[in-house]
Structure 1
Amino acid sequence: MSEHDDVGRQPGSIEDMVPEAVVSEPTVRDSAVRLVLASPLYRGATIALFLAGLGQSAAAPQIALFLTKDLGGSLTAAGLFYLTSLTAPVAGYLVGARSDRTGGRLGLFRVCAVAGFLGWAGIACATRLWMPFVIGAVVLGFAVASASQLFAAIHDELGVRPSAVGDGVVSIVRMALTAGWIVGPSAGAILAARFGLRPMLFTTALCAVAQLVPLGMLRTPPRSGSASPSRKTALPEVPLRMKVRTMGPLLLFTALYVLVYAGEPIKYAYLPIYMIDRLHFPSGIEGAIVGIQPLVELVLMPLSVLAARRIGMMRLMVVAAGFGVAANVCFATTGSAPGLFAGQILMGGVWGVFAALGIIMAQRLLPSAVATASAIFMSSTALSSALGGSVGGLGVGVVGLPHVFLVPATFALIAAIGLLLMDRSTRKSQASSSGPPEPNETSWA
């Protein structure tokens, strides 16, 4: 990198995650896509996360029908099932802490994938209403941690074999999970209609265990700085109990992410009802409005990585949270198809940024324990669903449709302000330091 290139570099950008020696090397022949295709770990993780997203998203819209139709539960009981995911952050932390202590990323990934198979297969075979609740809280909570172990393994591999396009690798792997969530709901609905709900849920179980196939017998990559891949004693020791002060930036960032994501369950619960019952849109228009967001998200994810190189990850996330405010204001005030399309396009911008960069930022905020950071961040969607579902249910009873969407708009505004303050604190600390921050480190005031 020339001196002129360094002048325009923003503090907190993705380049800070890559050693200077690596950034300065020519990367014309080195692309993220080539790296993913060439590496068994990156390629296998991409396929595995697509299967994970496919299975999870196929079951998500159908589980309430299974609880009410097959097990005779009430609508209230079906809604309470989603609260079982509140155990996911605890399970994720336990798995992440063990992973950081032992370094066995892929071994724990395989355990979590098998837990996913047992959990969904158990739910598919359930004969009593209480059984899915217990299985969901105990078994599936650990299954959610499988994805975080893959991202921790990728982080370790990039530490051993650094690349200037390492952030692009993470983005591509994350895009596979999003792609699975695009295909899954339709596939789940077709399977349920043709074969029934129990076979559909068992298919979700098969998707969970099928994650093992693309990674085969691949071994966990060594962490950066280890002398030999086969010597566990070479791995740097990571403390089991990290001080709250050390984890503070990660926990704050995750809490702000929870506020941004809390709008999603509110939107998916009430936007279709609003379009059908109040606006009387035909099904084609409704489906187009709902489906445009993930398409925009997929397009913007690689572009957000490039944008973050210029303006910084945290600053770009402030903009994305602002998009969330604008999107929910569109839902609450426009009452027209163009307005709702605009809102969904803006929401695609929100998740095009956070889906691509969120996991990278989480790992940066706790570089000494990336598996713990990944697990805490990725399990935060469970907290968001619980928050959005409960607040949305209360809000719609008080202010009604469409004004309930002002609630997630307020959440997103708080998140934008919080992220802006975090960004300013980081830049102020970097400016006052005697030297540039080390790679993969973030200073906090």
Structure 2
Amino acid sequence: MGQAEGDHSLKDTSVARIIWRTPFLRAACISLFVAGIGTSSTMPQMTLYLVTELHIPIQAAGLYYLVNLTAPVAGFLVGTLSERLANRLFLYRTCAVIAALGWTAMALADRPWMPFLIGAFVLSFGGGAMGQLFAATRDELSRHPSPADNRIVSAVRMSFTAGWIVGPVLGSWFGATFGLRPLLLANAACLVVQLVPLGTRRVERFRLETGKPDESAESTARRHGDRIRGTTRYGTKNGLTPLLVFLGCCVLVMNGDTMKFAFLPLYMANQLHVGDALRGTVIAVQPFLELLLMPVFARLADRFTPIRVLAMAALLGVGAHLAYATSTQVAGLFVGQMLMSGLWAAVAGLGITVAQQLCPDRIGLASSMFSSCIPLAGAVGGSVGAFGVGWLGIPQLFVIPAALTALGFVGFLLTARRFRPDDAAFAARV
């Protein structure tokens, strides 16, 4: 039938063995690694590209990330369409090709307004590729469940993070050697190459049982305060509210990353007078540690639930931003990066799972909207950074994302208490 294959024994808890034995999961890891290299090689260079190649003032270049305000709309449209199609990977391939075309157009841009237009109306849709790949991953795990599902999703996401270890260093070298426009073309090539490992494989959408619950189940659910629609606890009465609340919290805790990429290199170069190699090391240490911590947080999620682990990680994010804001030596920035790696290990590895738990009957939509909240956080961070750099200066502007991340921590706690997302949400998927 051409569907994803794999036999995940309920007794097998070895993540590496399950991924290796499952062709789709194995291919997904390779694809995300390639995509991670392309994305991470380009993102830290975008402000430099806009300023040096298109001669956009640095204040206006910082506003480029506002194009990501269209990402939630694109994510909603892609996710809604995903729930109507049988093959999850059709939209994954479509979004990847759209993104590749967008970055090609970006590399050829010769007018200051072109990157803003391309980013808002092309790359926002292209960013839906990862969400659909994780929707397909959840469908695969629903067909072949195992006790290690949380760790499997985290391990697949680790492949993208591994690309982020290689990408920034490779992007800095490639941009300095061949130029920034060729670097954007190389990113476009990576987005096409990521399609190769999956070939023509199909992953059929996994359908959710919508039959009415029996009276005993309904009575039990009422005693525990659960809301039921069919066999799932999160129904039409609440709609997308639990998911939207959670995504809002994610935006609050992730928005500082844009400011870090935009202003931390400038702070190190202009005020701390740090050399190129050490600057690259400071930036690259976060994804390296993030990769090491993701399995740890996945294990903790099995014990305490993903949403509680996310709340704990948000506190690490608060500490990271405060370290950026108060450091006068490179050592303090390394401490900030170490703390930030904990936040991103949790959000990157577990965030998609929580989103799917909160909307188990619309996995494609939940996955796309979670993926779109990452660029939305970039837009928020870009606008806050453009305002904060003039108001507080560098590095004091990082107290703003510290405060926003603290609000996200409170939101995660309320989400855990009010909606109680956990793997029981997937029990009704058949």
TM-score, normalised by the number of residues in structure 1: 0.82
Matching residue of 2:90: 107
2:162–2:288 Cα contact (<8 Å) kept: no
1:365–1:441 Cα contact (<8 Å) kept: no
Bigger Cα displacement from structure 2, 129-138 vs 167-176: 129-138
> Equivalents in 2 of 1:387, 1:50: separation in Å?
27
- 1:207 aligned residue (190, 208, 213): 190
Matching residue of 2:204: 221
- 1:392 aligned residue (374, 385, 406): 385
State the one-letter code of the partner of 1:352: A
1:364–1:441 Cα contact (<8 Å) kept: no
- 2:11 aligned residue (26, 32, 35): 26
Any residues of structure 2 matched to 1:331-346 within 5 Å, and which?
A: 331-346=324-339
> Equivalents in 1 of 2:58, 2:164: separation in Å?
24
Matching residue of 1:433: none
CA 336–136 in structure 1, closer or farther in 2 if over 3 Å, else same:
closer
1:327–1:344 Cα contact (<8 Å) kept: yes
Match status 1:404 vs 2:397: yes
Match status 1:49 vs 2:32: yes
Match status 1:303 vs 2:296: yes
State the one-letter code of the partner of 1:74: P
Deviation at 1:295, TM superposition (A): 1.5
CA 438–176 in structure 1, closer or farther in 2 if over 3 Å, else same:
closer
SS in 2 for 1:60: helix
State the one-letter code of the partner of 1:398: W
- 2:65 aligned residue (82, 88, 96): 82
- 1:272 aligned residue (265, 269, 272): 265
Deviation at 1:185, TM superposition (A): 2.0
Deviation at 1:184, TM superposition (A): 1.5
- 2:353 aligned residue (353, 360, 365): 360
CA 262–91 in structure 1, closer or farther in 2 if over 3 Å, else same:
same
CA 342–116 in structure 1, closer or farther in 2 if over 3 Å, else same:
same
2:357–2:425 Cα contact (<8 Å) kept: no
CA 319–390 in structure 1, closer or farther in 2 if over 3 Å, else same:
same
> Equivalents in 1 of 2:351, 2:285: separation in Å?
22
What's the CA shift string for 1:251-291, capped at 9, x where partnerless?
11110010100111222223333334334445555444333
Matching residue of 1:163: 146
Runs of at least 5 residues in structure 1 that lack an aligned partner in the other structure: 1-21, 227-236, 431-435
Matching residue of 1:40: 23
Number of residue pairs the alignment of both structures matches: 397
Matching residue of 1:97: 80
Runs of at least 5 residues in structure 2 that lack an aligned partner in the other structure: 1-7, 210-229
Bigger Cα displacement from structure 2, 117-126 vs 259-268: 117-126
Matching residue of 1:58: 41
SS in 1 for 2:339: helix
SS in 2 for 1:220: coil
Matching residue of 2:217: none
1:262–1:387 Cα contact (<8 Å) kept: yes
Deviation at 1:392, TM superposition (A): 2.1
> Equivalents in 2 of 1:205, 1:182: separation in Å?
19
1:159–1:224 Cα contact (<8 Å) kept: no
Structure 1: 4+ residue segments shifted above 6 A: none
Any residues of structure 2 matched to 1:124-273 within 5 Å, and which?
A: 124-224=107-207, 245-273=238-266
CA 370–39 in structure 1, closer or farther in 2 if over 3 Å, else same:
same
